[in-house]
Amino acid sequence: MAEPWDTPLSPISFLERSAVAFADRPAIVDGDHRFTYAEMWERAQRLAGALISHGVRPGDRVAVLAPNTRVLLEPHNGVPMAGGVLVALNQRLSSNELSYIVNHAEARVLIYDYAWEEEAAVIAAQAPHEIALVQADGPDDQYEAMIADATPARVPVTNERDLISLNYTSGTTGQPKGVMYQHRGAYLNALSNAFHAGLDTNSVFLWTLPMFHCNGWTFTWATTAAGATHLCMRELTPAEIWKAIRTEGVTHFNGAPTVLTMIAHDEAAKDGPAPHRIEAATGGAPPSPTILAEMAELNINVTHLYGLTETYGPLTICQWQPQWNELPLGDQARIRARQGVGMVASDTVRIVDEKGDDVPADGETMGQVAARGNNLMGGYYKDPEATADAMPGGWFRTGDVGVMHPDGYIELKDRSKDVIISGGENISSIEVEQAIVRHPSVLEVAVIGEPDEKWGEVPVAYVTLKPGQEATDDDIIEHVKNTIARFKAPKRVVFTDLPKTSTGKIQKFVLRDKAWAGHDRHIG
C-alpha cells in the first residue's frame, strides 16, 4: 500500500524539474524553432490543454506521425500530461499499415506533419471511429495555432502502472503488436539511460535515432531529465550529421550500426575526426569490431547497448572496464561488440536452455536471452495470449541466441531464426558477417542460410562494397576461410544493396523469404 507521501513515478516529472533547474537553458533546437526548458514546460501544458479540448480523456490514445522534430518530441510530455497514451507512428510505413495501428490503438487524435497529409487522410477515411486531425508545420500549421490558443492543463498521474505509450513492433511475422509502456518503466529506463550516457546540462543530444522507435529508447525523457539540449533532425543524412557535429556542439547521438557505417564512410568524414569526443550508443544489431575501430579514429566513442521494444529499448550495456584500456585496439573492439551486463534499472539478464535453466558461463554454450524487471513491457495490447507465450515462467524470451562469458557479460550469436544449421552444424550468421566485414572492400553484409539438397542449408553472403572498391566471390570466401572455421564460409556471395528497416536494421527476413520461397525451413 502506498504511503501518503509517495509520488507515482512518471517521466513527466523530469520536465517539471528541468523547467525550474534549467529554466533558461536551451531545451529544443528544431530549425528556426528554439525553446528554453521553461518554454518547453509551458508548451507541454498547453498541448495537454489543447488535447483535452479535443476530447482526450485519461487512457485515450493520441497518435503522432512526424519525423524527429518538436512535433514528435513535445507530445512525449504533452500527451501523458493530458492523461493520454502516446502512439508514435513509424512514418515509413504504408497508409494501410498506419491505419491498422491507429485503428488497433483506437486513437482519438492524430497529429501529423504536413508531408504526410495523404497518409493522414487515408487513416481518417479507414477509421471506424472519429479521429481529430491536426496538421503541423507547412502552410497550414494547426499544431502551433492549437498550442498558442490553448489553456495550460495537467492531469495528475495517480498510478505509475498506467500506460504512457504504445509502441508497435515491426510485424515481420504478422500484424504489428502494441507493446505497452508504463509511467514507471519509462521513468526508470530514462534515468538509467541518462546515467549510462553521462548526459548533463552541457550535453547536446542529436536525434539520429527515430523517436518513434521505443520512444527514442526513452532518451526523449532521459535528455530532458539531464537538462541537455534536444537537437532535432528532420532528415537523417550523413552530411547533415557531420554538419551538426562540426557546428552545433553535438556530444551524444544514438543509432543502429548502419548509421555508424554511414557516418564513417561519408565524404565529410575525410575532413577529419570530430572536434571533440562524442559519445554514441548503438543497438539493433551487434556492431562489428571493424566499424567500432573506424568510429574511434573519428573521435566517436561507441557504447554497445542491447534491448528490444519489449524492454523499453536498452536492456544491457557493454560496461567498459578500465583495465581493458591496456589491450590492443583489436581486442578492445571485439569486447565492445559484446552486449554486456544489465543496465542499472535492469534485472540480471540470463542465457537459458530450452528448459529455462541457465547455460554454463563458458562463452561457448549457446542459449536464448531471457529478461525480466522494471523495464519489461506491461504486455501486448489486447493480446494476453501473445503476452503469456512470450514470458514463460515470468522471464521474457527475446528470441536472440547468445552465450554467457565467465565474467558475466553476454554476447549475442544470432537471432534464433538466423542460426544456420548446415549438415547438423550450427553456424552463427553474425560470426560470418563479422569476418566478412573485416575485408577492406566490404561496407555492409548480411548472411543467411539458403536451401541446399546435400546440407539442408548453407550460408550465403549478401555484400555491399565500399564506393570505388572491388572484390570477387572468391576474394570474400577465401578471406572468411582464413579468418574463421572453413566450413562456416559462405558458399555464394551476392553483391547488392541491402534491405533495411526505417531504424537502419538490415532486414534479413526479406532476403530469407525470397530464398526459401517454395521450401520448408526450420525456424529455430
Residues 447 and 402 in one domain: no
**Torsions phi, psi for 300 (to 5 deg):** -120, 115
C-alpha cell at 314: 536498452
Tell me, what's the pLDDT at 524? 38
- Range of the structural domain that residue 252 is part of: 237-415
Picking from 396, 415, 434, the residue at the C-terminal end of a domain is: 415
The residue written with cell numbers 553521462 in the block is 198
The CATH number that applies at residue 501 is 3.30.300.30
Residue 349, in any domain of the structure: yes
Q: What is the pTM of this model?
A: 0.84
Tell me, what's the pLDDT at 426? 67
Residue 34, in any domain of the structure: yes
Tell me, what's the pLDDT at 428? 78
Residues 388 and 255 in one domain: yes
- C-alpha 373/C-alpha 334 separation (Å) is 28
Residues 456 and 404 in one domain: no
Tell me, what's the pLDDT at 232? 98
The CATH number that applies at residue 150 is 3.40.50.12780
Residue 191, in any domain of the structure: no
Residues 269 and 314 in one domain: yes
Residues 425 and 411 in one domain: no
Q: Which residues of the chain have pLDDT under 50?
A: 522-524
* Vertex 278 angle, CA 275 and 281, to 5°: 155
Q: Which of 427, 369, 380 is nearest to 403 (CA)?
A: 369
The residue written with cell numbers 505509450 in the block is 165
CA dihedral sign of residues 486, 489, 492, 495: negative
Report the chain's C-alpha Rg in angstroms: 23
Residue 505 contacts by C-beta under 8 Å, 6 or more apart in sequence?
256, 258, 284, 285
The residue written with cell numbers 550516457 in the block is 197
Tell me, what's the pLDDT at 1? 57
Tell me, what's the pLDDT at 102? 97
Residues 404 and 426 in one domain: no
Residues 475 and 348 in one domain: no
